[in-house]
Structure 1
Amino acid sequence: MTTAPGRPGGHTSTRDEVERAHLVDPTDRTWSIARASVSPALGDLARRFWIPVWHVPEGRDSEQQVLQYPVCLIVVSNTYARFYGVVSGLSSTVLSGRGWAVGLMLQPAAGHLLTRAPVREMTDRFVDLSSLATIDADGLTAGIRAAMSPDPSSPAAQTEARDLVEAALTHLLPVDDEGLLVNAVVEDVETSPELLRVDDLCARFDVSERTLQRLLHKRIGLGPKWLIRRRRLQEAADRLRDSDADLAGIAAELGYADQAHLTRDFRLATGLTPGEFAARFR
């Protein structure tokens, strides 16, 4: 068992950090997911790939719920190709039948580079990938489907698909200075559990709150208060999977005034109380 760096209370977890956002139902065996890092050269533009493959029995659906990270997404599947803005609440996708998808989690800087517009216009919505003038969506989609369709579970097919996505994005490099700044701001929030106030975040980067608001709304579509709240909720979801999770202790360690405030925020964001979510893992 490893200790997660920087977490208050010395919280330990054997889970991959990227699973914090996925409100997984551990009894759902209808899907599998592969994850992979991007090439180092693309690190300022994208974070990681996820490639789910599913086979849901006839007459059933599998709902996937995610407390999305503050980044835009590119997703190409066997039936659609989309660009997603940041979902301010709970992101929900219903899987049915057989299928697969190749998803890329971008860096905070990347949404604006792809849309050439303030990313706040994309909050809580998605568009067809082909609507973006900055990428050859049709060629990319065709290439990914040709690679993945014979056997979407094949590591070789998944590697080829990832290579195609990376090649389609390299022309956006290098990332501009403003983009690098927003990448750094978001990373700081996500890796600093002691950071609970917007004014403290402003002080760390020597910017005014107004400037920070404008930067984040342009590049990720939401403001700094949302950013801090989202990180706390993801952390809470991660902690609640442990068999010995103590809700009052989690609330205190994450900076909530009391257990009731955490319960309210968690229910508003996910539709579940912390107890209902924790019960999935008991």
Structure 2
Amino acid sequence: MTLSARYLELGLAADVSDEVEAVWTSVSDRAGSYRVLPDGRCDIILRFDAGQKPINSATVVITGPVTRFYDVAIEPGMGFAGVRIRPGRFESVLGFEPTELANANLIGPDAVSACPGLEALCAPARDQTELVARLTAFVRQRATASRFRPAPLARSVISAFHASGGRLRISEVAEMHGLSERTVQRLVVKATGLTPKAFAAVLQFHRALRLLRDHRLSPAAAALEAGFSDQAHMSRVIRRMGGFSPARLADVTLVSLLD
């Protein structure tokens, strides 16, 4: 059975808002699995035992951009503290492009090997609040010291895909910005690790879920509003990306996605 752990998004410090989309925590209250949905983002996560005070150690995880769901085994008291990195900012924080992690994660030693600065985050901590503060400080320090700066047009291109809920084609985004399709392709891949088509599909998937769950539209109405060809098309995409049907959204965690 897939369970939703207690996922909570926290307040975001203004001086890291360019790099971080959300700071979040999650603690499981039972054994089972937690379903991670594709969101076109990369996260830096510290996994820890929430029952320990102080927390003796943590394991660092870097999640890459994925195009379909996966399940994470959880145990009672397993805690997670994470920062969700904005599209286009992954390289300035971690030093390598998200394409290197497409549909993959780095856990523990593999994550530290890719970015040695992460090792200090895993030292003993007083509590969960200290782990969150470490993550924020890490992003702040890395972004300030980084020589990488996102392409000025990248954020505008990403915003266009967001504003349309993934319904715009690459040719339309290119025309809006006076760019070639090849340039849009390059900007999106470098910023997100996904092709424009894959990134747009993820956004459309999330829009459909919001329309179904939060706005309580019927499947037929949600499919139309989200830009699918019909209800059956939407259902196929939701099953492929989420592993469930449009009628089973009760235990799904939907993260905040900003442009």
Quick one: which of 92, 108, 130 aligns to 2:112? 130
Contact kept in structure 2, 1:72 and 1:110, CA below 8 Å: no
Instruction: Report 1:174-193 matches (<5 A).
Output: 176-193=148-165
Unaligned 5+ runs, structure 2: 49-57, 253-259
In the TM superposition, what is the alpha-carbon distance from 1:212 to its structure 2 partner?
Answer: 1.5
Q: Secondary structure at the match of 1:178?
A: coil
Q: Show the counterpart of 1:147.
A: 126
Q: Show the counterpart of 1:212.
A: 184
In the TM superposition, what is the alpha-carbon distance from 1:279 to its structure 2 partner?
Answer: 7.1
Matched, 1:203 2:171: no
Instruction: Report 1:77-96 matches (<5 A).
Output: 77-78=47-48, 79-96=58-75
Matched, 1:106 2:88: no
Label 1:256 to 1:33 Cα distance change in 2 as closer, same or farther (>3 A). closer
**What CA deviation, in whole Å up to 9, does each residue of 1:202-226 have, x standing for no partner?**
2233221111212222232111111
Label 1:141 to 1:273 Cα distance change in 2 as closer, same or farther (>3 A). same
Label 1:147 to 1:205 Cα distance change in 2 as closer, same or farther (>3 A). farther
Q: Secondary structure at the match of 2:10?
A: strand
Q: Show the counterpart of 2:23.
A: 49
Contact kept in structure 1, 2:82 and 2:135, CA below 8 Å: no
In the TM superposition, what is the alpha-carbon distance from 1:243 to its structure 2 partner?
Answer: 8.4
Quick one: which of 23, 32, 39 aligns to 2:6? 32
Letter of the 2:114 partner, please give it.
L
Label 1:238 to 1:204 Cα distance change in 2 as closer, same or farther (>3 A). same
Label 1:202 to 1:172 Cα distance change in 2 as closer, same or farther (>3 A). farther
Quick one: which of 205, 213, 217 aligns to 1:241? 213
Distance 1:80 1:221 in 2: 24
Contact kept in structure 2, 1:195 and 1:201, CA below 8 Å: no
Distance 1:37 1:196 in 2: 31
Instruction: Report 1:199-278 matches (<5 A).
Output: 199-241=171-213, 244-275=216-247, 277-278=248-249
Query: What TM-score do the two structures reach when normalised by structure 1?
Result: 0.74
Label 1:166 to 1:180 Cα distance change in 2 as closer, same or farther (>3 A). farther
In the TM superposition, what is the alpha-carbon distance from 1:177 to its structure 2 partner?
Answer: 4.6
Quick one: which of 112, 117, 127 aligns to 2:96? 117
Q: Show the counterpart of 2:39.
A: 69
Distance 1:243 1:167 in 2: 36
The percent identity for this pair of structures is 22
**What CA deviation, in whole Å up to 9, does each residue of 1:114-150 have, x standing for no partner?**
44333212111112331233x52221221xx4132xx
In the TM superposition, what is the alpha-carbon distance from 1:47 to its structure 2 partner?
Answer: 0.9
In the TM superposition, what is the alpha-carbon distance from 1:45 to its structure 2 partner?
Answer: 1.1
Contact kept in structure 2, 1:118 and 1:217, CA below 8 Å: no
Distance 1:169 1:179 in 2: 19
Query: What TM-score do the two structures reach when normalised by structure 2?
Result: 0.80
Letter of the 1:66 partner, please give it.
V
Unaligned 5+ runs, structure 1: 1-23, 153-157
When the two structures are aligned, how many residues end up with a matched partner?
238
More displaced 10-residue stretch of structure 1: 32-41 or 178-187: 178-187
Label 1:255 to 1:53 Cα distance change in 2 as closer, same or farther (>3 A). same
**What CA deviation, in whole Å up to 9, does each residue of 1:182-232 have, x standing for no partner?**
333323322333843221212233221111212222232111111211111
